[in-house]
Amino acid sequence: MLENWVVVPTCLPVVLRRCHVCPSGRFRANGRFRVNAHHKLLDVWLLVLCTGCGDTAKLTILERANVRSVRPGLLNRLHENDLVLAAELLQDPTVRRRNRIALDWDGAWRLDTGSSDAPDFRDVSVRFAARIPVRPVRLLAEGCGLSRGEVERLIEEGKVVSAVRLTGKVSGDFTFTLKH
């Protein structure tokens, strides 16, 4: 019996970056963009608000890009402050590296298991709707209704088997087999 679990984002993650006004290092993205035109060149920023003082910071998305090089659909989404686009851009490694930010996904995702019964033997396919780094031990504990200690004990005893390492964090799809 193959079960499908899905890790789904529930909101935008917290942006970890130093605030220049207060000692806070956490920012909330609300999906607002600032598009600035200089003749035929565009600058685009994603605006984020400090959770401590409310100061606005700008995350660079495009810098001095030629207007003709930006797809019209993307430009429309930027002007409309598309929340889905903001989520995609926050997960883009190039944007994160350019702006020297990290993301905190605590409380910004949920696990959809689809069933509530617990058979003695099951194969589970875990799919990620977004690149959310989560420990497989936490997913197994939440999905099976066990404590993390119990899940770690099952892994040590060989009752949970997977092709991926279950001790670190994963953000890509994987499968595992649980034997009781």
Give residue-wise pLDDT tens across range 101-144: 999 999 889 999 876 555 455 788 999 988 899 999 999 888 88
For residues 116 and 157, give the distance between their C-alpha atoms in angstroms, rounded to a whole number.
Answer: 24
Helical packing angle, 83-91 and 72-79, nearest 10°: 110
Secondary-structure percent of the chain, ordered helix, strand, coil, rounded to 5: 25, 40, 35
Global confidence as pTM: 0.77
**E strand or H helix at 42:** strand 41-50
Strands 121-128 and 2-9: parallel
For residues 109 and 79, give the distance between their C-alpha atoms in angstroms, rounded to a whole number.
Answer: 27
pLDDT of res. 111: 92
pLDDT of res. 180: 67
Task: Work out whether the CA dihedral 167, 173, 177, 180 comes out positive or negative.
Answer: positive
pLDDT of res. 146: 87
What is the DSSP code (8-state) at residue 159? Answer: -
Residue 51 CB neighbours (<10 A): 15
Per-residue pLDDT of the chain (180 residues; tens, 9 = 90+): 688 899 999 999 999 999 999 999 999 998 899 999 988 999 999 999 999 999 999 999 999 999 999 999 999 999 999 999 999 999 999 999 999 999 999 988 999 987 655 545 578 899 998 889 999 999 988 888 889 999 889 888 888 888 888 888 898 899 988 886
Chain-centre distance for alpha carbon 18: 20
**Contacts of 136 by beta carbon, 8 Å cutoff, 6+ apart:** 126, 162, 164, 166, 167, 170, 174, 176
